[in-house]
Chain A
Amino acid sequence: MFSAISGDFIDEPARQEAPAISSEVAEQARAGDSQAFTTLFQTYNSQICTYLARLVGNDEVGRDLAQETFMRAWESLPAMDQPLHFKPWLYRIATNCAKSYLRRTRLIRWLSWKDEETGPLVQGPEERTGETECVQQAMASLSPQCRTCLLLQLVGGFSQREIAELLHISEKSVSAYVSRGREQFRREYRRRKGETA
């Protein structure tokens, strides 16, 4: 008999939970109420910045994209579909902003260099990385689709069904992306930790 070992390593993940926001606030913002939009901004500012920073792998760029996201949201609110589902709608804008950014700045590096000890390039001590770098590099090794789905679940707190609706893809695809993302992240993280231990 074996038990699922949750808690043996680290406590259950502490997600940044945005306080529940009433749909009336989003409705008011859609009608042009700047105070209501400011409330929405204050509610989702931290989450969106974190999501975008993790997605593009750079805090400063993430914040820059968050600004773009909120500006686009304000511009687009009047045309927002009924019924109002503000949070997934905002994340969709954020995801599109990140996608456009990655495309126009050609930052999508398909892959990264393998640290092969027997290869022509021997990894030097200066490249050995700490915990934060290990996590960030493992995250960066995921495909954009896997990274997006995983972060929407982890940072945004969305279920796979919600992610499918948000990204306009099938739930089956989301399930595959999340599964593949977790497995690849796990392996990459362990590989890097193994090398740096």
Chain B
Amino acid sequence: MKQLIDIQPCPQWAKKLAALHPGDLTSAEQANLQAHIQSCPACAAVIAEYREMDARILALPPVAPLPDLPLPLRAAFGETAQQETIHVTEQAHASRHSTILKRKPPRPTSRFARAASAFAAVLVVAALIAGFLLLFTAHHSDIGNVPSGSKVVVVASERNDGTIYAIRPSDGAIYWHQSIGKQLTGALVVTRDVVIVGSYNGHVYAVNKRDGSVLWDRSIGTAALPPFASDGTAVYVSGENAVYALRTSDGEILWHRGKTQGCDNGACTNVAMGASGGKVFAFFPDGLYALRAADGTILWRNPVFRFTTRSFVLLNDKLYLPVEAKGLVYVLSTGDGNMVHSPLSFIKDQPIEMVASSDVVYVDSGGQEITAIRASDDRALWRKHFDTVIIGLSSSSDGRLYVAQTTTYVSSIQIIGQPQPTVTSSGYSTDVYALNASDGSILWRWQPTNASGGSSDIAAADGNMYVVIGDSLYALHGSDGKVLWRALQGEQLSSPVIG
């Protein structure tokens, strides 16, 4: 193995060394940097390496551009090659062309026509304003405080205004909405009394679950990324460089673990975590850490499991960690971080998704089969094979497993005379499944008729399930898949959380 020589740039110059665009630094800053580089071999080597890395990225094999405008645009522009014979080929599960609003090019207009157009425009604007006000009123006519002890469905807007919505599960009515004013990351946790969200501006916000009033706002310096975890006393927040424990009641930072443990010189990113049994589990670049929830003390570190996908499961003092490339699920003891037994084997190189419910871990392997594993002894209770792909295992509740599957449709045209078909459009559809948790059989399947985007994770409780599909939040009856309500149409929403 080649010996690596680790070169560290001077910390105070690190950001300037990376600012390689000519417009990034002022001429004075550039002069200072050059002077420093002349006298510092480490920084000179680092900036040279940055340039080398840039060159390597730019030297990647070129990406072939689109051969022409997208077909719908060509059609809209009236340039569809009618003379060519076009065969539409089904490449995926089905073929579906995306639709596009055709913009009409402006026509020369007479003065009368312009005046009429202006008048019409005024009417249209008035109608739009009225419609908007109606819509706004419909969306935001809050019904008031959440009754004590009641559950709410909470979702956060991904728009710049950072609005949090508390929804009544029974009918989709909005108890309250609170605009944070900053774009939220989708990190969201609900405790008994508090809703806590993370933002891209490096702040964590807590609002009162009862009425949505802001309780506290704490800066952690970097974007507060999902997932958050909470044990009621504290919320455990993953920043880009560290894990923070914030006291739920007032946002006080109880402890944080980051740069000195596991992150070298800001290279720590993407911390995934979970909290259970007085411990917090966090993945850092140099391993999986178990931290004491009370004070952040390192209880153990397993250097082998530096990274994982997001769907790890914590159950019965065990951590279930999927390694998709090997088709394995490792089972570690939360007590010491060692493997409890040899890994469980599944289909290699296929996505592994897991959910847990009471004493059972359900593992979806490649969307082709679901295995129920009894957590007490990690033995398979049942294994269900599917003829069709069912991927997107997301939640387990009330004896049912819920799957939200988004399918990408790719269609292509094969133009005679051209060797390769050309991808011309794509679309997305979502299927929601409920499976029987006792044997994996499909109880029902539901597909929204007008979904325009992918699906979120599913939250389920008290016989119903909640999912964001496209631009709306849906509630479905768990027993038969009937739509109970649809809310917040037109919003860009995070995954719902119930609490």
Contact = CB atoms under 8 A, between A and B. Distances in A.
Contacts of A183: 9, 14, 18, 265-267
Given A13-B54, A111-B306, A64 B2 contact: no
Contact of B100 (A71, A145, A173, A175): A71
A1 interface: yes
Contacts of B49: 186
A67 to B, nearest CB: 4
Greatest chain A CB density within 10 A among B9, B15, B77 is at B15
B368 interface: no
Given A49-B64, A63-B423, A104-B454, A187 B267 contact: yes
Interface in B363-411: 392, 406, 408, 410
B66 to A, nearest CB: 5
Interface string A138-158: 010011011000100111011
Interface in B68-85: 69-70, 72-73, 76-79
A47 B60 CA distance: 14
B57 A154 contact: yes
Interface of B: 1-4, 9, 14-15, 17-24, 34, 37-41, 44-66, 69-70, 72-73, 76-79, 98, 100-101, 103-106, 160, 183, 200-202, 222-223, 240, 265-267, 269-270, 272, 283, 303-310, 323, 325-326, 328, 330, 339, 343, 392, 406, 408, 410, 423-426, 428, 453-455
Contact of A71 (B72, B104, B428): B72
A168 B78 CA distance: 36
A146 to B, nearest CB: 7
Contacts of B343: 120
Greatest chain A CB density within 10 A among B2, B18, B19 is at B18
A31 B106 contact: yes
Contact of B269 (A13, A104, A179, A180): A180
A20 interface: no
Given A110-B270, A143-B240, A189-B53, 11 more contacts: A2-B39, A13-B57, A34-B78, A63-B66, A77-B103, A100-B454, A110-B310, A114-B305, A120-B304, A173-B201, A194-B3
Given A169-B200, A184-B269, A113 B454 contact: no
A189 B283 contact: no
Contact of B306 (A37, A114, A131, A142): A114
23 contacts: A2-B37, A2-B38, A5-B48, A10-B55, A13-B51, A13-B57, A31-B105, A46-B63, A59-B64, A66-B66, A67-B424, A67-B426, A110-B283, A111-B309, A114-B307, A160-B23, A161-B23, A162-B23, A168-B160, A179-B17, A182-B50, A183-B266, A185-B57
A159 interface: yes
A105 B307 contact: no
Interface string A87-130: 00000000000001001111001111110101111000000000
A12 B51 contact: yes
Contact of B73 (A13, A32, A74): A74
Interface in A11-44: 11-15, 31-34, 37-38, 41
Nearest to A107: B351
A110 B406 contact: no
B270 A111 contact: yes
B1 A194 contact: yes
Given A5-B45, A70-B69, A104-B428, A121 B326 contact: yes
Interface in A41-70: 41, 45-46, 49-50, 53-54, 59-60, 62-64, 66-68, 70
A187 B9 CA distance: 12
B14 A110 contact: no
Greatest chain B CB density within 10 A among A59, A105, A183 is at A183
Given A49-B64, A67-B66, A113 B307 contact: yes
Given A2-B39, A2-B44, A63-B63, A182 B18 contact: yes
A132 interface: yes
Interface residues of A, number: 99
Interface of A: 1-6, 8-15, 31-34, 37-38, 41, 45-46, 49-50, 53-54, 59-60, 62-64, 66-68, 70-71, 74-75, 77-78, 100, 103-106, 109-114, 116, 118-121, 131-132, 135-136, 139, 142-143, 145-146, 150, 153-155, 157-162, 168-170, 173, 175-176, 178-187, 189-191, 193-195, 197
Contact of A160 (B21, B64, B77): B21
Greatest chain B CB density within 10 A among A33, A135, A197 is at A135
A193 B2 contact: yes
Contacts of A136: 60
Given A49-B65, A113-B325, A179 B18 contact: yes
B70 A67 contact: yes
Contact of A105 (B53, B406, B424): B406
A159 B18 contact: no
Contacts of A110: 270, 272, 283, 307-310
Given A11-B55, A49-B65, A176 B325 contact: no
A189 B4 CA distance: 11
A135 B57 contact: yes
Given A131-B56, A176-B15, A67 B23 contact: no
Contacts of B339: 120
Given A71-B73, A75-B100, A49 B66 contact: yes
A120 B305 CA distance: 10
Contacts of B330: 120
A158 B21 contact: yes
B106 A32 contact: yes
Greatest chain A CB density within 10 A among B20, B53, B79 is at B53
Given A32-B105, A132-B60, A70 B73 contact: yes
A77 B101 CA distance: 12
A50 B62 contact: yes
